[in-house]
Structure 1
């Protein structure tokens, strides 16, 4: 009997050793560029709930190789940083290793440096890059670079000499950032006139709480076909990068209490898609807004952020979150969502209260 008890205890101990628990979401700390998505954030956003799906290998091969190399790079999309570099980024992050932050975290993010056709975000030549700070660190500074004309991220490793600084902000406490579902976020206007085709944005975020440097590669396609091709979103830069960007309504405002909504597709894959909707107040300030999206091809809204939604078939009614309902005249806010079905442009309507 004693031998049986010993064997049972050994089997229980062995089971405890071999059980693997996969996280369902990243640790709530640090942050990343979420639009245009950094490489590992984009892979987590598109595939985190189905990271073992075999179709990823053909639909999103660069994310597939990254998940195969180290799934923790995606689960910890908010942890790509180095410490105590004293601002010497070029001296500590070699050419060809910029997207991994110079092989940060013991090489966890090395697959981010792999050269290939990473799925890009379609952008205009003027828009606002969004950085989310889940731990509300704030910034000593944030620098945003774009790759030079002629650089091809699908065939060339990234070097410092490929980058041109397009905007930067100085010391910005987290209290000056916008509220986010977790922590805070900040929109940084960028403008790259005349650019077309593939490129990459490279963002350095120097956090304020300690000497901690974050590095983000975001693949983009200037003038891409994603979203509504007849009514592309416009995001002109503002003078104050710590304030939400403003976007003029796409149609003349109807009067006090009015708002408009503009749809932009971010990406798509077999059976699903991701999109953003920008809500803009009319000629008077508003206290709350409601956007109705109606799809004509059976698509459905599956998940929403920066807002709440109720759905009925192919119609979704989306209402502001507590922190982004009040907008000054002409001011804007954005919510995003994941949809199921083949991507398509919905009919939108916007109502507001004053």
Structure 2
């Protein structure tokens, strides 16, 4: 079921009257993405998911800015960029210039990924790993990794099949052979090149071992930088209904936190944005010196609170406090591991006292 939301923000934040469709991610198509070097839509989600209405994105990350305006669902549904029934004929199914959107799959949801421009690039050496996260644990029939040929400039050129050279691949690999995570599995595909420098695109095709689903990812890299170490914790599943109320001011409140104890957790609060009658906040939860199985965060205010919506947790109001409990996919954290959740509250924003308790 699709929901329609209208974003109306102050000048420079979002186009007035912009209408976007939010399509909740269903378990059938919620698989995964390349988290390192981050694909275009996962990178935009990772950098801006908690502050996607921040006008600073327009100057700091203009390619993500255009993508969020074109269709925010391309980022919220970072794990659903796939086509069905391709039967291995990838070049026949996807025209030149449309490789990063999977041939304008999912009714054009990911079209902005094909936009030519200066996408944020990850610095890599000539040897690096492509990390694929699979939230549905389907594994792979195969994973093919390509890199654009020397001389290709993604800042000015649209990607074509003839621009690519296959540099690495993995054959049939059941999910049981992947690295196990609390909310999925992940696998590294090693890439080793020589003599490369400058900008390039890493293009990954993942044939999931589920029906006939082919996934396509564009990751922008800069050869000659330091080898990038992917995140040690898996990505969190995006909210099915992202926040829709536009902010008018940037964050002003510094994070507040409580120190972690052994086998416990800490939490830090940050005000993302506020407007007349409401505000958006984000809370980061971090495990202590031992792994935890679940967490509960209490935000204590000086007056009664109301929460409109939340993501990556269940947030309920209890008098002058808001109580958040982990989602099924982000409760288990490794020692010193972290996750985050967000919510939209009613009224005037104030800084709460934050406490975190953990299940070990």
Is 1:142 the counterpart of 2:146 in the alignment?
Answer: no
Paired residues of 1:83 and 1:212 also in contact (CA < 8 A)? yes
**How do 1:13-24 and structure 2 match up within 5 A?**
none
Q: Residues of 1 paired with 2:144 and 2:68: CA distance?
A: 28
Residue of structure 1 in register with 2:283 after alignment = none
Task: After TM superposition, give the deviation of residue 17 of structure 1 in Å.
Answer: 8.4
In structure 1, C-alpha distance between the alignment counterparts of 2:158 and 2:213, rounded to whole Å: 24
Q: Residues 12-51 of structure 1 correspond to what in structure 2 (within 5 A)? A: 29-51=30-52
Counterparts of 1:189-200 in structure 2 under 5 Å? 189-200=190-201
Distance 1:334 1:118 in 2: 33
**1:171 pairs with 2:172:** yes
Hey, what's the Cα distance between the residues in 2 that align with 1:337 and 1:121? 22
* 8 Å Cα contact 2:101-2:216 kept in structure 1: yes
3-state SS, counterpart of residue 49 of structure 1:
coil
CA distance in 1: counterparts of 2:62 and 2:264, whole angstroms: 32
For residues 65 and 82 of structure 2, what CA distance do their matches in structure 1 show? 22
Contact 2:132 2:186 in 1 (8 A): yes
* Preserved contact between residue 27 and residue 76 of structure 1 (Cα < 8 Å): no
Deviations 1:147-202 (A, max 9, x none): 00110011000000000111101110111111123211101100121111111100
Q: Which runs of 5+ in 2 are unaligned?
A: 8-19, 234-253, 269-285, 294-333, 341-360
Aligned position for 1:343: none
Q: How does 1:1-354 map to 2 (within 5 A)?
A: 29-224=30-225, 232-233=226-227, 276=231, 319=289
TM-score (norm 1): 0.60
* 3-state SS in 1 of match to 2:144: strand
Give a deviation string over 1:313-343, Cα, whole Å, max 9, x none: xxx99757589xxxxxxxxx9998799xxxx
TM superposition shift of 1:53: 0.7
Indicate the SS of the match to 2:217: strand
8 Å Cα contact 1:124-1:222 kept in structure 2? yes
**C-alpha RMSD of the superposition:** 3.7
- Asked whether the equivalents of residues 123 and 227 of structure 2 are also in contact (C-alpha less than 8 Å), the reply is no
Q: Is the 8 A contact 1:277 1:334 kept in 2?
A: no
Work out the CA distance in 2 between the residues paired with 1:160 and 1:334.
43
Q: Secondary structure at the match of 2:35?
A: strand
Name the TM-score, length of structure 2 as normaliser. 0.59
Q: CA deviation at 1:138?
A: 0.7
1:206 and 1:51 map into 2 onto residues whose CA distance is 30
1:128 to partner: Cα distance: 1.0
Offset, 1:125 = 1.0
